[in-house]
Amino acid sequence: MKKLFFLLVMLTNGMLIYAQSPWEKDFTKPEATEIDEPKPKIVTPGTNGAPPSDAIVLFNGENLDSWIMSKDNSSCRWTLKDGSMTIKSGAGDIQTRQKFGDCQLHLEFKIPVNAKNSANRNNAGNSGVFLQERYEVQIFNSYQNETPLYANGQMGSIYKQVIPMANAASKTGEWNTFDIYYTQPQFRSNGTVEKPAYVTLVHNGVLVLNHFEIQGSIEYIGIPYYKPHGKAAIRLQEHGSEISFRNIWIREL
Amino acid sequence: MKKLFFLLVMLTNGMLIYAQSPWEKDFTKPEATEIDEPKPKIVTPGTNGAPPSDAIVLFNGENLDSWIMSKDNSSCRWTLKDGSMTIKSGAGDIQTRQKFGDCQLHLEFKIPVNAKNSANRNNAGNSGVFLQERYEVQIFNSYQNETPLYANGQMGSIYKQVIPMANAASKTGEWNTFDIYYTQPQFRSNGTVEKPAYVTLVHNGVLVLNHFEIQGSIEYIGIPYYKPHGKAAIRLQEHGSEISFRNIWIREL
Amino acid sequence: MKKLFFLLVMLTNGMLIYAQSPWEKDFTKPEATEIDEPKPKIVTPGTNGAPPSDAIVLFNGENLDSWIMSKDNSSCRWTLKDGSMTIKSGAGDIQTRQKFGDCQLHLEFKIPVNAKNSANRNNAGNSGVFLQERYEVQIFNSYQNETPLYANGQMGSIYKQVIPMANAASKTGEWNTFDIYYTQPQFRSNGTVEKPAYVTLVHNGVLVLNHFEIQGSIEYIGIPYYKPHGKAAIRLQEHGSEISFRNIWIREL
Amino acid sequence: MKKLFFLLVMLTNGMLIYAQSPWEKDFTKPEATEIDEPKPKIVTPGTNGAPPSDAIVLFNGENLDSWIMSKDNSSCRWTLKDGSMTIKSGAGDIQTRQKFGDCQLHLEFKIPVNAKNSANRNNAGNSGVFLQERYEVQIFNSYQNETPLYANGQMGSIYKQVIPMANAASKTGEWNTFDIYYTQPQFRSNGTVEKPAYVTLVHNGVLVLNHFEIQGSIEYIGIPYYKPHGKAAIRLQEHGSEISFRNIWIREL
């Protein structure tokens, strides 16, 4: 039923825009290249770090209601304190209740000061933002490259798929921002990928990934590959390090 | 000579990364998908609106030295006042002295309050940011759609090529920000386009163009098409309206 | 009306194939990747050089009825003799009455023996097959490279756009075959190219162009570019040389 | 060493073609779009079904020397009789000794008359041509659709990936030809696909696949996916049916 509606909208829209074939137009007139409709929707921008008017707020410092534990869908057991949400070591990953497709995601995070001296390399500020539960934008202490790690595992990488164009990491103890522009993959009826996922990442105001073609689900061992899926949650990884998060919002595109 | 050097670097780099064919690797070991080099360059992010450490500042409120008049390369004659640079009606377009290719460009602009009541539609806050002197990100008073104009000519459109995904325009008299992520086109030896230009635009923190494929030089009348070019300036359009600019910086990618 | 019908067919088809999202299927069963419909249409292949059952015969040696003069749409005035159609020098180009889009085109042609000794380079077997009246597959005496010409102007080139992968030219006085697989370009409503045209060319049984991306209309001088068009004729060029054609047929795809 | 040589050739070639940037050329002169080198290599076409001069003959009716059993690399044990090579039921698949990448492949095959009445659907002329040992162009009795099977498993399909554009199958007992134009996939260093494989298939002179994007290795059950590989053999499948082959040749591209 939904599909029927969708295609009828396409139909109407198609007739609107393609009422005239491009080769039948008179391109000596400026009107030939003017498109009146649809007017873009009005979005009131946020001021002073507030989210735009059409954003879904996922965390604003007051409660953890938008999040659940990934392993069993129970209530989020990470720590809420001083307006931030902090990983509880051993508690496991969390994810949004809501599922998303194409989106603009904003979040802020802080790696604890002691992370940089950790004897355990995996504790050196290790976390990650899993888009649609499977494509990881890596969080790791990479400030001044003080924690040696392979370059495609640094903060701002798509883990084991690409080296970010710049290392714009904040010091441990200071806040980072991620602004993520994400396009979900599309699948054929036989389960193969028709169009891969893409991600653009602006880290602390610095472009570090520009329309990167995601190569499949993140794999610690082995070759990334795609499995078909629909809309899915934003997942935050718990990997032993007590990273804090704040000001998380998302816009559906 | 430069090309020789460039290709020799590719050669070395190629041998480094492709020392082993992917089908000769043991993908049961995590090391198979770790890449150690090159470490991404360290960029110190700006705080409180300041540019990142590797940005070229094009305008910081103090002088107009980075800009020249487009028509004759003479000194920029727009108005410098109160830390902003304002269009002088009739003076003509300006452009950067320096030429750029792929880039991240930040700029802020303000449409004057009286623009919205202009009897002359072209005076309703009309200006534009021409990437590489030819691909226009449109500036126009579009707040709440109070100035009726075709949708692919609104603020945040690539003029006459695409409707922005949202109208995030500030009120006249208030500042807007554009964060632009731009990839330049590539041309074949016979002058045709090998790869088109792409642009992502974040307007006031709202994604309005996501990796849009630019279709050629902006044309008021006729079909956009590409003509080969190399690096080129950022041009700001004078179109009668006294728009102000501030805090302009660019990062070469 | 036609468009309406087309989209309703898409609608039906879409519901059929996408009745189930790929992520809802059980891919442990072989049925998950079996598609029953639509059965491909039955085409009876030709034997001994005859065209397949669904081909439109454009020339079979008996008459010139499918062709008209390009300049004025008058009856074809090339020479019909001994089952072949031969260029009349000075008469001008000819083209099919019917217009075509995506197609498979077969034709055979023979460059006269004296062409190779022509003092006039342009008379050295110069002709061409213009797909959709604008994209030229070049005909020229290139046997053993005996007529020196730039490589992207040899027989089997897309004129001034690409060098064929092989020179499979027959001797002057002997027949050549071209088997052409062509995909027409698609245009946006503002007249720009959405998808370029592609051509695969098998010359005398030898693959010489494999899904080559056509870069625009053929230009002797200047940069090729696209102008929007719909279905269009197959044009054969008259360029002074008395080339003969036979066994021309086309399948609409 | 090979790589070094390869890149040095690129270097030379690069300097030749890109000696001048396209925007530095004078496109008002016809010379600007003429490319003199490299001259395409001369290939003498075959006459009367003979292979072109640069083809590697894989089977010409005289011996089975180019083929080995896929399971153990032992000598080919299919039946050589009357100038054709016929599947021995139960013997297993065969493949070429030599490995190939991009190629043009010609082969002819005949499904036995009794195949169409087989009670066992899998015996109804079931075989296949595996490009690079993994991407199957399907052979099956599909004449007049007399053996019902899912459409993406018919003769000329890429098995379980695509329905051919036409059913051009010959009657059982009569010869078919396949002319295959194949581009191999390319892989990244982390094992993911950089560029997929493509195939064009002309069946009995009728285009049935036009630059189809292969979606991964053929799977009877499950989702096709890619695993990295280099050059690989042409494999012919034994699936119980006694199909005959003749006149097999290949050109490396």
- Minimum CA–CA partner of C151 in chain D: D36
Q: Is the model's pLDDT at D174 over the cut of 90?
A: yes
Mutant choice from A41, A110, A147, A150 vs B, greatest count of B C-beta within 10 A: A150
Query: Which residue would you say has higher pLDDT here, C30 or D149?
Result: C30
Domains in chain C and their CATH numbers? Answer: 36-252 (2.60.120.560)
Q: Is the model's pLDDT at C5 over the cut of 50?
A: no
Q: Is the model's pLDDT at B116 over the cut of 80?
A: no
- Residue C155: CB partners within 8 Å, gap ≥ 6? C125, C138, C139, C140, C141, C142, C164, C167, C169, C176, C203
DSSP A160: T
Per-position DSSP letters for C122-161, written without gaps between them? GGSS-EEEEETTTEEEEE---GGG-S---GGGSTTSBTTT
Q: Is the model's pLDDT at B12 over the cut of 70?
A: no
Residues D170-178 have a mean pLDDT of 96
Rounded Cα distance between A107 and A237, Å, is 14
Residues C191-216 have a mean pLDDT of 98
Q: What percent of chain C stands above pLDDT 70? A: 89
Letter string b/e over residues B193-217, b meaning 16 or more CB atoms within 10 A of that residue's CB: beebbbbbbbbbbbbbbbebbbbbb
Cis peptide before A30 (omega within 30 of 0): no
Residue C9 forms contact with A (CB below 8 Å): no
- Minimum CA–CA partner of C148 in chain D: D36
Tens of pLDDT along D6-55? 444 344 444 444 458 999 999 999 999 999 889 999 999 998 889 999 99
Residue D14 forms contact with B (CB below 8 Å): yes
How many of the other CB atoms lie within 10 Å of CB of A224?
Answer: 21
Q: Do C192 and B228 touch (CB under 8 A)?
A: no
Which chains reach chain D with 3 or more Cβ–Cβ distances below 8 angstroms?
A: A, B, C
pLDDT, residue A2, reads 40
pLDDT, residue C148, reads 66
Interface of C with D in 183-212 (CB under 8 A): 183, 198, 200, 202-208, 210-211
Chain C residues in contact with D211 by the CB 8 A cut-off are 198, 200, 211
How far B124 CA sits from the closest chain A CA (Å)?
A: 17
Rounded Cα distance between C184 and B93, Å, is 40
Interface of C with D in 58-117 (CB under 8 A): 104
Q: Is the model's pLDDT at C213 over the cut of 80?
A: yes
Which chains reach chain B with 3 or more Cβ–Cβ distances below 8 angstroms?
A: A, C, D
Q: What percent of chain B stands above pLDDT 90? A: 82
pLDDT, residue A62, reads 97
Q: Is the model's pLDDT at D101 over the cut of 90?
A: yes
Residues B7-15 have a mean pLDDT of 42
- Minimum CA–CA partner of A216 in chain D: D192
How far C223 CA sits from the closest chain B CA (Å)?
A: 5
Mutant choice from C17, C23, C186 vs A, greatest count of A C-beta within 10 A: C23
Q: Is the model's pLDDT at A11 over the cut of 70?
A: no
pLDDT, residue B149, reads 80
Residue D179 forms contact with C (CB below 8 Å): yes
pLDDT, residue D12, reads 43
Bridge partner list, D199: D182, D212
Average pLDDT over chain C, rounded to an integer:
90
Chain D residues in contact with A223 by the CB 8 A cut-off are 190-192, 227-228
pLDDT, residue B146, reads 74
Tens of pLDDT along B118-145? 656 667 899 999 999 999 999 999 998 7
Which chains reach chain A with 3 or more Cβ–Cβ distances below 8 angstroms?
A: B, C, D
Residue B11 forms contact with D (CB below 8 Å): yes
Tell me the pLDDT band of B48, cut-offs 50, 70 and 90.
confident
Lowest model confidence (mean pLDDT) among A107-121, C105-119, C150-164, D139-153:
A107-121
Tens of pLDDT along A50-84? 999 999 999 999 999 999 999 999 999 999 999 99
pLDDT, residue B117, reads 60
Q: Is the model's pLDDT at D4 over the cut of 60?
A: no
Tens of pLDDT along A119-171? 566 678 999 999 999 999 999 999 987 776 899 999 999 999 999 999 999 99
- Minimum CA–CA partner of B1 in chain D: D15
- Minimum CA–CA partner of B220 in chain C: C190
Q: Note whether D102 and D168 are within 8 A (CB).
A: no
Residue A160 forms contact with D (CB below 8 Å): yes
How far C192 CA sits from the closest chain B CA (Å)?
A: 6
Q: What percent of chain A stands above pLDDT 70? A: 89
Give the residue from A77, A120, A102, A216 showing the smallest Cα distance to A160. Answer: A216
Residues C215-230 have a mean pLDDT of 95
Q: Is the model's pLDDT at B157 over the cut of 70?
A: yes
Q: Is the model's pLDDT at C231 over the cut of 80?
A: yes
Tell me the pLDDT band of C183, cut-offs 50, 70 and 90.
very high
Mutant choice from B193, B195, B221 vs C, greatest count of C C-beta within 10 A: B193
Tens of pLDDT along B168-197? 999 999 999 999 999 999 999 999 999 999
Lowest model confidence (mean pLDDT) among B8-22, B42-56, D146-160:
B8-22
Residue corresponding to tokens 């003498």: D44
Residue D28 forms contact with B (CB below 8 Å): no
Residue B221 forms contact with C (CB below 8 Å): no
